[in-house]
């Protein structure tokens, strides 16, 4: 029971870290609320764009119908022009026939002045033909003018049509861009929700452990009386300060301290160091002590905790495989595990307080 209590004290962050997690949850909730507002705004903009697109579609359909009407009018005008030409030819033929009949009538005995009749008929013919040609010319000019006007209108409709099509393409591209942004915002919101759930689980875990520790305060006196725990005076574990080696060969990629999460814009406290080691490297104990825990710890993976003299504990997390067991006495540089693809976590605790390991390791002083 005492060993389990020491293990819980060493492996679990203190109440200040619980407050930090609560603050992270509050910040995350505010970010989720902000993302909800942005998603709602994007949905409204998409709705407005869709309404505008429908309006432009109806305008295009109207322009298409108007263009068809112009095409039919141009076609009808062309047919009317052919009709006028045919009527002109028929009128010319009819006039010639009438003059011929009149000539035959007068020459047939009804009149003796043939030259006078022919002369007057010829004048009448040319007068009639001149008036008819003028009317036909005026009608043809009017038709040409109408054709030019229709052609201009048709060109104007084509320009408007092209302009609308360009605007439609731009609007479509904008809609696609807005949809991509909306999808990104939704994904970001989902990431924030996942982060919030993780923080809530961690918070509940810490609260549960702290409650258990609060209930077990009555055992503090018994722990203080243990021969292996020395409180006050010179602590024998202090002789290791500045002389330890890293528990595994590798590069320290994350140090002790407070860090800002760029993805979620929150601050987290890192209570140890993380060492990027080669896979299958041996992880060794940094000092003499007793293994009080060898198993899985939430947030640390496969973990080994060693209790040393003077209420000091060392923690080795992120192991691929554990090569020791609970209750084993280990010496300095004894193999306790094997590293995997993930970095190795190394931390030092004095009672329930996290200590910066950088002042204890020889190469990081």
CATH number reported for the structural domain that contains residue 244 in this entry: 2.70.70.10
* 280 and 171 housed in the same domain: no
* 203 and 301 housed in the same domain: no
Q: Is the pLDDT of residue 336 over 80?
A: yes
d(CA 214, CA 88) in angstroms, rounded, equals 117
* Final residue of a structural domain among 226, 243, 260: 226
Judge whether 101 and 57 are in contact, CB under 8 Å.
no
Whole-prediction pTM value?
0.41
List the CATH number of the domain containing 64: 1.10.287.950
Q: What would the two tokens of residue 71 be?
A: 């095409």
Q: What is the pLDDT of residues 58-69, one digit of tens each?
A: 877 877 787 777
pLDDT (average), residues 159-184: 80
* 35 and 162 housed in the same domain: yes
The pLDDT confidence band at residue 108, using thresholds 50, 70 and 90, is low
d(CA 230, CA 309) in angstroms, rounded, equals 7
DSSP category for residue 326? T
Judge whether 349 and 318 are in contact, CB under 8 Å.
no
Q: What would the two tokens of residue 294 be?
A: 């060898």
* Final residue of a structural domain among 197, 226, 255: 226
d(CA 228, CA 292) in angstroms, rounded, equals 13
Q: What would the two tokens of residue 321 be?
A: 């495989």
* 334 and 352 housed in the same domain: yes
The pLDDT confidence band at residue 119, using thresholds 50, 70 and 90, is low
Q: What is the pLDDT of residues 73-82, one digit of tens each?
A: 777 777 776 7
Q: Is the pLDDT of residue 240 over 50?
A: yes
* 324 and 275 housed in the same domain: yes
Q: How many CB atoms lie within 10 A of CB 336?
A: 23
Judge whether 304 and 314 are in contact, CB under 8 Å.
no
Q: Is the pLDDT of residue 116 over 80?
A: no
Task: Report pLDDT for 314.
Answer: 94
280 φ/ψ sector (left φ>0, alpha ψ -120 to 50, else beta): left
Number of domains present in the structure of the chain:
2
Q: What is the pLDDT of residues 300-323, one digit of tens each?
A: 889 999 999 888 999 999 999 999
Higher pLDDT, 321 or 138: 321
Least confident of 18-32, 63-77, 92-106, 320-334: 92-106
Higher pLDDT, 320 or 224: 320
Three-state secondary-structure class, residue 262: coil
* 216 and 344 housed in the same domain: no
Domain containing 312 equals: 231-365
Q: Is the pLDDT of residue 112 over 60?
A: no
* 235 and 209 housed in the same domain: no
* 56 and 103 housed in the same domain: yes
* 274 and 209 housed in the same domain: no
Task: Report pLDDT for 319.
Answer: 96
- The strand pairing partners of 257, in sequence order, are 270
Task: Report pLDDT for 121.
Answer: 61
Q: What would the two tokens of residue 301 be?
A: 């993976």
* 4 and 75 housed in the same domain: yes
- The strand pairing partners of 355, in sequence order, are 348
The pLDDT confidence band at residue 104, using thresholds 50, 70 and 90, is low
* 103 and 148 housed in the same domain: yes
């Amino acid at each position: 029971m005492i060993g389990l209590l020491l293990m819980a004290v060493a492996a679990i962050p203190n109440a200040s870290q619980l407050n930090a997690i609560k603050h992270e949850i509050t910040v995350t909730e505010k970010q989720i609320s902000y993302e909800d507002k942005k998603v709602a705004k994007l949905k409204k903009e998409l709705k407005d764009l869709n309404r505008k697109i429908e309006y432009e579609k109806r305008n295009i359909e109207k322009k298409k119908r108007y263009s068809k009407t112009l095409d039919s009018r141009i076609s009808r005008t062309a047919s009317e022009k052919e009709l006028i030409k045919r009527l002109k030819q028929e009128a010319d033929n009819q006039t010639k026939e009438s003059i011929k009949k009149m000539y035959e009538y007068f020459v047939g005995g009804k009149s003796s002045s043939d030259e006078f009749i022919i002369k007057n008929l010829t004048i009448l013919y040319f007068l009639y033909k001149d008036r008819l040609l003028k009317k036909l010319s005026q009608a043809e000019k009017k038709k040409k003018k109408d054709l030019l006007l229709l052609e201009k209108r048709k060109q104007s409709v084509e320009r408007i049509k092209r302009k609308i099509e360009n605007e439609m393409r731009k609007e479509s591209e904008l809609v696609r861009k807005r949809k991509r942004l909306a999808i990104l915002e939704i994904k970001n919101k989902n990431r924030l929700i996942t982060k919030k759930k993780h923080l809530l689980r961690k918070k509940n875990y810490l609260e549960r452990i702290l409650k258990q520790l609060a209930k077990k305060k009555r055992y503090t006196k018994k722990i203080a009386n243990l021969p292996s725990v020395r409180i006050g005076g010179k602590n024998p574990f202090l002789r290791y300060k500045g002389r330890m080696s890293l528990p595994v060969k590798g590069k320290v990629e994350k140090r002790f301290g407070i860090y800002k999460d760029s993805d979620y814009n929150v601050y987290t406290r890192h209570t140890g160091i993380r060492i990027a080691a080669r896979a299958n490297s041996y992880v060794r104990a940094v000092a003499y002590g007793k293994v009080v825990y060898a198993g899985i710890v939430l947030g640390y993976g496969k973990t080994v905790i060693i209790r040393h003299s003077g209420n000091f504990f060392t923690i080795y997390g992120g192991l691929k495989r554990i090569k020791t067991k609970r209750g084993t006495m280990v010496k300095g540089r004894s193999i306790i595990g094997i590293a995997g693809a993930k970095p190795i976590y190394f931390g030092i605790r004095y009672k329930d307080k996290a200590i910066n390991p950088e002042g204890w390791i020889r190469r990081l002083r």
